[in-house]
Structure 1
């Protein structure tokens, strides 16, 4: 598996880029779509989490910008299915802790770290058929993608999903509190000076309100066929809603 340092030069690739606010269903839909199409799923969030975990282990703070940028540049990050390795260590679980989640914002807001990881994402996708998701995949990282999606859902629907997700993990959460936190994050994401959530001009907006994730994937599969002309085998035909 190629690493940060051994990846070949960028060459033509096929990318389905999915952006949108937190809670719109991007990760779930992107993984399902990749499986449906036989594409690879690029977990960009895992890359930022690796840098954050490494930062916490040193430890340094996001304000130590030069050290953080050097750290990101030196890391070897490998993605293979659901397995994430950092410098050869399986950190698939370690990058999902609350501590990493709380600290990731300072890493993601560093402009040079974003440039380093954006370049890594392009190189990782080189020569592959990829579904990727984030907040700037279509607008910044893969601007040449011919299939861009901006996935949305109402604030209330996204908050309900978050409460349900927390409940599945045994965590009680108040819907209004979750909604307030979500609205604050939306404001921050749309107004960030670096890596802001932006809908690319040529992105197709799709709402996930009131429909299942599999129905959303059905819509996206049709979009991929229309935009990219992919001849999908029967193995990846649409599932029933």
Structure 2
């Protein structure tokens, strides 16, 4: 990483699935006038490409090669894969479950590492994922580890899916989420855990606005302006 890039501030927001990382990251970035990185989308996009292209999901190198070939662009709410908006498709549970599985592959994580770091552009970046503070941006001045009760997260995801027109079963979602949490925590490569210097925020009983304000307060407490 260049010296210039190292001077660009980053706020990382890590946490388990459906903890609200993406929503909070976008709101914080909007308040600060910064860019946002949804790292999970890159893994979901890879999973979708694997499904669409018939790539062997158990072949770690083939999956990594699929990731290297991704033609991706983020435009507001749109997530473009080869020019097609797949924002809805990558939120399907089958894609999310496959993304969780392949995220454990070392070749894939390495393939996406520099692509993620390339999002670090002035005036700043809010990056959400599972290893943003521990692996991708370990020098970030503020690292948030966002948690929430697993039932609260399952209920949020169920509501999100139904609002997007997808069928969703709360009991099945809760089971899938517990399995995914365990897989993310115990994987050998970049397991889900809080960075040693991260601030843990429990959003179970907080609104989106309240959670955003907690993050911005942490940021301003470091001596930086809270918002534009």
TM-score, L = length of structure 1? 0.81
Contact 2:48 2:90 in 1 (8 A): yes
Change (3 A) 1:63 1:10: farther
TM alignment of 1:165-176, pairs within 5 A = 165-168=160-163, 169=165, 171=167, 173-175=169-171
* CA displacement at 1:80 relative to structure 2: 2.8
> How many angstroms apart in 1 are the aligned matches of 2:205 and 2:152?
9
1:5 counterpart residue number: none
> How many angstroms apart in 1 are the aligned matches of 2:112 and 2:212?
27
- Is 1:199 the counterpart of 2:194? The answer is yes
Q: What are the ranges of 5 or more consecutive residues in structure 1 without an aligned counterpart?
A: 1-7, 234-241
Which of the residues 93, 101, 106 maps onto 2:101? 106
2:26 counterpart residue number: 31
> How many angstroms apart in 2 are the aligned matches of 1:170 and 1:97?
8
2:126 counterpart residue number: 131
Change (3 A) 1:20 1:231: closer
Contact 1:41 1:81 in 2 (8 A): no
* CA displacement at 1:156 relative to structure 2: 3.1
Which of the residues 182, 189, 194 maps onto 2:184? 189
Structure 1 stretch 132-141 or stretch 40-49: which is displaced more?
Answer: 40-49
What whole-Å deviation, never above 9, does each CA across 1:175-220 have from its counterpart, x for those lacking one? 5x54333222221111011231010000001111222110111111
May I ask how many residue pairs the two structures share in their alignment? Answer: 225
* CA displacement at 1:37 relative to structure 2: 1.7
Change (3 A) 1:85 1:173: closer
Which of the residues 177, 198, 204 maps onto 1:209? 204
Q: What are the ranges of 5 or more consecutive residues in structure 2 without an aligned counterpart?
A: none
* CA displacement at 1:10 relative to structure 2: 7.8
2:87 counterpart residue number: 92
Matched residue of 1:22: which SS? coil
RMSD across aligned positions (CA) = 2.5
2:77 counterpart residue number: 82
What whole-Å deviation, never above 9, does each CA across 1:4-47 have from its counterpart, x for those lacking one? xxxx9982322110011123221121111111222122111221
> How many angstroms apart in 2 are the aligned matches of 1:40 and 1:141?
16
